[in-house]
C-alpha cells in the first residue's frame, strides 16, 4: 500500500513534466519538429493518464479484495472456537457421558434388585405350594435326583416314613396308582 502511494506522486510528477515539456516545445521556433514532439508528448501524456487511471482502478480493486479477505478472516475467526473452549466442551461432554453411564449402571442395579426380589417371591410361593402339596398328599418329592422320579412319603409332622423311586419312562397313571396304594 505504501509503495503504491509512493508511485502515485511519481506518476503525477511525470505527467507534470510531460505538460511542461509540451509547453516548452510549443514555445520553440522549429514548428515541424515542435509539432511532432508536441504530438508525441500529447500522445505520451494521454497514454500516461490512461495507464494511471487503469492503475488507480486496479489499486482500488486490490484494496477491495484485501478488505474482503480481511472480513472473511475475521468472520472465520469469530466462527471458530479456541482450543481452550474446545477442551472445555470436550470435558463437559465426557462428564455428561460419565453421568449417563453411572445412571445406566444404577438403573441396571435397580433392575437386578427387582429381579432378585421377584425371584425370591416366586421361590417363597413355590415353597408354600410345595408345603401345601406335602401336607395334603403326604408326599415330598426329591428334586435333587433328576434321573428318576423319587421322593418320600411323610407323616403329618414331616418325618420321612418311606422312600419311593420310579423311572422317568413309567407312565404317570401307574406312578399315581402305586403312590396312592402306599399312602
Cell of 115: 429381579
User: At 41, is the pLDDT very low, low, confident or very high (cuts 50, 70, 90)?
Assistant: confident
Task: Specify the higher pLDDT residue, 156 or 178.
Answer: 178
User: At 4, is the pLDDT very low, low, confident or very high (cuts 50, 70, 90)?
Assistant: low
Q: Where are the domains of the chain?
A: 2-80, 82-137, 138-183
User: At 13, is the pLDDT very low, low, confident or very high (cuts 50, 70, 90)?
Assistant: confident
Q: Average pLDDT over the chain, rounded to whole? A: 82
Starting at the edge strand that comes first in sequence, how are the strands of the sheet with 139-141 ordered?
Answer: 139-141, 148-154, 160-167
- Residue 1 is predicted with a pLDDT of 47
Phi, psi for residue 96 in degrees, rounded to 5? -60, -45
pTM, two decimals, is 0.40
Task: Specify the higher pLDDT residue, 114 or 3.
Answer: 114
Amino acid at each position: 500500500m505504501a509503495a503504491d502511494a509512493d508511485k502515485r506522486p511519481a506518476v503525477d510528477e511525470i505527467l507534470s513534466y510531460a505538460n511542461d515539456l509540451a509547453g516548452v516545445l510549443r514555445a520553440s521556433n522549429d514548428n515541424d519538429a515542435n509539432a511532432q514532439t508536441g504530438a508525441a508528448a500529447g500522445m505520451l501524456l494521454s497514454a500516461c493518464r490512461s495507464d494511471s487511471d487503469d492503475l488507480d482502478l486496479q489499486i482500488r480493486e486490490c484494496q477491495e479484495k484485501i478488505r474482503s479477505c480481511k472480513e472473511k478472516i475475521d468472520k472465520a475467526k469469530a466462527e471458530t472456537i479456541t482450543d481452550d473452549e474446545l477442551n472445555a466442551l470436550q470435558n463437559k461432554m465426557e462428564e455428561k457421558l460419565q453421568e449417563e453411564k453411572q445412571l445406566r449402571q444404577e438403573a441396571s442395579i435397580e433392575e437386578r434388585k427387582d429381579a432378585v426380589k421377584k425371584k425370591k417371591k416366586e421361590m417363597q410361593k413355590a415353597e408354600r405350594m410345595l408345603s401345601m402339596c406335602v401336607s395334603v398328599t403326604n408326599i415330598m418329592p426329591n428334586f435333587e435326583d433328576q434321573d428318576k422320579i423319587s421322593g418320600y412319603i411323610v407323616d403329618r409332622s414331616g418325618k420321612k416314613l418311606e422312600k419311593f423311586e420310579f423311572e422317568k419312562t413309567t407312565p404317570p397313571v401307574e406312578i399315581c396308582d402305586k403312590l396312592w396304594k402306599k399312602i
